[in-house]
Structure formats: C-alpha cells, structure tokens
Amino acid sequence: MTYGWEAAVEAQIRSAQERGEFDNLPGAGKPIPGRNEPYDEGWWIRGFMEREQIPSDLMLPTPLQLRRRIEQLPAELRDLPTEEAVRSYVAVLNAEVVAWLRTPTGPRVVVRPVNVEEAVLRWRADRRSVTAATPAPPQSPRPARSRRRRRWWRR
C-alpha cells in the first residue's frame, strides 16, 4: 500500500534519474564507508572532527585540558622570544587554573598553578641549550681597502 505522497516522491526520483541528475556524483560506484563494521554511536562526531580538523583535546573536560596545557608548557614556552612573553603566557594559564579552582566543573583532578620562576628558569635553560647547539654562522673576512677614496669635493 503506497500513499499519494510516496508515489509523488518516487515519480520525482524517477524523472531525476531519467534526466541524469544522479550521474557522476562523488562516491558513485564506491562502497559505502563503514558498511561492514559494527554500529558506532559516535560515528558522526568522529567524522565531523576529522572533516573539520578539530583537535580531540577540545572534547576533554576543563581540568584535563588544563593539565594537558601544563604538561605541554615547556614546548610552548620554547618559541617565545622574551622573558616578559614567558611570564605573561604563564600568568594567563595560571589565571585560567585559578578560575577553574574557584568554580570546579567536571571530574575532580588535581590542577595547580604553574610556578612562574621555575618556568622562566627552564625557558632560559632551553634557550641556552638551543644557542649552544647551533653553531655561529661563519664570518666572512672583509676585503682590505687598498686606498682610501677621495671625496669629489676635495679634489
């Protein structure tokens, strides 16, 4: 038993096929991805995150995001140019940690503010090791001046 609207829809699909509107569509003739795999409830969110290139860290609760940022802090600080930039970066991170500590949400995870002085000392040590590891560029010898040129007004 078909309803009137189902017949109308089938008629529109059939006429679109006859006009060739379904020819050369992307994925035509290819198997449907994930068809033979077991059902996964989160397939759409994983596909969206891959398609939009969203990092999976954003799905973590706030305390785990903060812990991850604290763990990655030395790598983040290594690229900063000045000590002032390091201090301000750590200050912003500490402000976020303190804000979370005042109104904790999510799982109970131990998160403590970062010691600014320790971060600066580690940044300095990293900077020293990088500058010591990179050799100084060779200095080209300056050509010796044979004669001093006279100015045109002194001739």
Contacts of 106 (CB under 8 A, 6+ apart): 61, 62, 63, 64
The answer to the question of residue 102 being in a domain is yes
Q: What is the largest CA-CA distance in the chain?
A: 112
3-state helix, strand, coil in the chain (%, to 5): 55, 0, 45
The answer to the question of residue 18 being in a domain is no
Is 116:91 a contact under the CB 8 Å cutoff? yes
The answer to the question of residue 11 being in a domain is no
User: In percent, how much of the chain has pLDDT > 70?
Assistant: 83
Structural domain range at position 127: 60-131
Q: Is this model's pTM higher than 0.85 or not?
A: no
Note the pLDDT tens digit of each residue in 5-17. Answer: 788 899 999 999 8
The answer to the question of residue 36 being in a domain is no
The answer to the question of residue 9 being in a domain is no
Note the pLDDT tens digit of each residue in 136-147. Answer: 666 655 555 555
The domain total for the chain is 1
Distances (CA, A) of 121 to 72, 77, 88: 16, 11, 15
The answer to the question of residue 109 being in a domain is yes
Note the pLDDT tens digit of each residue in 92-148. Answer: 999 999 999 999 888 888 999 999 999 999 999 988 887 776 666 666 555 555 556
How far apart CA 62 and CA 111 sit, in angstroms, is: 10
